[in-house]
Structure 1
Amino acid sequence: MKTAAHRGPPTGPRAALKAIANGGLAAVAVEPLARTLGVTKGSFYAHYRNRDELITAALAEWVRSHGDEGLTEFAVIADPARRLRELLTAVVQAVQPLAPSVHLSLLGDRNDPRVGDAVRRVNQARLELLARTYGELGLPPDRAASRARVAYAAILGLLHLAQTDPDASHSAVLADEATAIFLPS
């Protein structure tokens, strides 16, 4: 038997993630997604047995692309100050005013065990990278972990503000400010 990871077209999970960003798990509906992908409903079901299988595949894709594997480009930067600066700059530049966020949308469905696990795994990967970076910058482990949590909370806060504020800035000024605040001197 084929597994979900080998069954569907690669755009299926991405289309489901786009739907999730725009309306949570409730927005993942087979007929509209099949139309978006340019396939019939029957063809969709040839790739995914049901909606839950697609949601599971989409969450796995999100964890892969936004967890450990998605952070690889930053994790390999040897200089921790440069790593933190580039990570903060990438985050600030990715924040777009009024843009939907998979992460924030998933929080509305956090009681779904699949969602809770996916969010936990992504948060853990991000927090571990930040804590490791702060540790390499000379903070003791407990302070590195605390600083990582505060920095990550600020990142999520920027995402939240961008969803609700059409004037939210995503300029280099914000990246500089984030670096000034969260890079130990």
Structure 2
Amino acid sequence: MATESIRLSARDWALAALRAIADGGLAAVAVEPLARTLGVTKGSFYAHYRTRDELIDAALAEWVRTHGDGGLAEFAAIADPERRLRELLTTVVESVRPLAPSVHLSLLGDRNDARVADAVREVNRARLEFLTRTYRDLGLPPDRAEQRAHIAYAAILGLLHLAQTDDESRRPATLSDEAIAVFLP
């Protein structure tokens, strides 16, 4: 039952939309079900957005902000490139949850939507630039750093994909250690 005492921000709605996208892509973003999930009326939505498309735009912008450059800022602040890469890989591998939906992978199903394509491109750009810069800081020449970044990023996306279809019992306990051994030159 909706209660009017709950005050949601536009960001609360955008985060709820991201959870819906993770579960079912853009088609899962619908005002009435989101309002029910959030425990509010549709009026709360209209206090922040005029249309579902505005909400999707806000959700995608939030995802880019938190998973692109902004999401990498704490790692970028680490001066030692070996420690930077080690902490990033450990965080990424340990944050991948079995059978947990992924916004990134769900968005790929909607990749023909220009807004989605732009958001995914921006997040990919930020992540690849970060990894390339880190590998260069580790002493790899520019082309090898870029190649290594692409392979490391592909492996990270592959882990996300496997986690969506695999359970915890098949995941090696030392996966983050192995990722570090493989991707740290």
* TM above 0.5: yes
Q: What CA deviation, in whole Å up to 9, does each residue of 1:133-153 have, x standing for no partner? A: 000111100000000000000
Q: What CA deviation, in whole Å up to 9, does each residue of 1:27-49 have, x standing for no partner? A: 00100111122221122122110
Name the counterpart of 2:118.
117
Q: % of aligned pairs identical?
A: 76
Task: Report the number of matched residues.
Answer: 177
Q: What CA deviation, in whole Å up to 9, does each residue of 1:120-145 have, x standing for no partner? A: 00010000010000001111000000
Secondary structure class of the residue paired with 2:133 = helix
Instruction: After the TM superposition, list the runs of 4 or more consecutive aligned residues in structure 1 that deviate by more than 4 angstroms.
Output: none
In the TM superposition, residue 52 of structure 1 has moved relative to its aligned partner by 0.4
CA contact (8 A) 1:95 1:158 kept: yes
Does residue 42 (structure 1) correspond to residue 43 (structure 2)? The answer is yes
Inter-partner Cα distance in structure 2 for 1:42 and 1:115: 27
Structure 1 stretches lacking a partner, 5+ long: 1-6
Q: What CA deviation, in whole Å up to 9, does each residue of 1:78-132 have, x standing for no partner? A: 0000000000000001000000000000000001000000000001000001000
In the TM superposition, residue 10 of structure 1 has moved relative to its aligned partner by 2.0
Aligned pairs (5 A) from 1:1-185: 8-166=9-167, 167-169=169-171, 171=173, 173-184=174-185
TM-score (norm 1): 0.93
Inter-partner Cα distance in structure 2 for 1:170 and 1:22: 25
- Output the amino acid matched with 2:142: P
CA contact (8 A) 1:161 1:168 kept: no
Query: What is the root-mean-square deviation of aligned Cα atoms in Å?
Result: 1.3
Secondary structure class of the residue paired with 1:149 = helix
Q: What CA deviation, in whole Å up to 9, does each residue of 1:50-87 have, x standing for no partner? A: 10000000000000000001100000100000000000
- Output the amino acid matched with 1:74: F
CA contact (8 A) 1:94 1:170 kept: no
Inter-partner Cα distance in structure 2 for 1:164 and 1:72: 30
Distance 1:81 1:104, change over 3 A: same
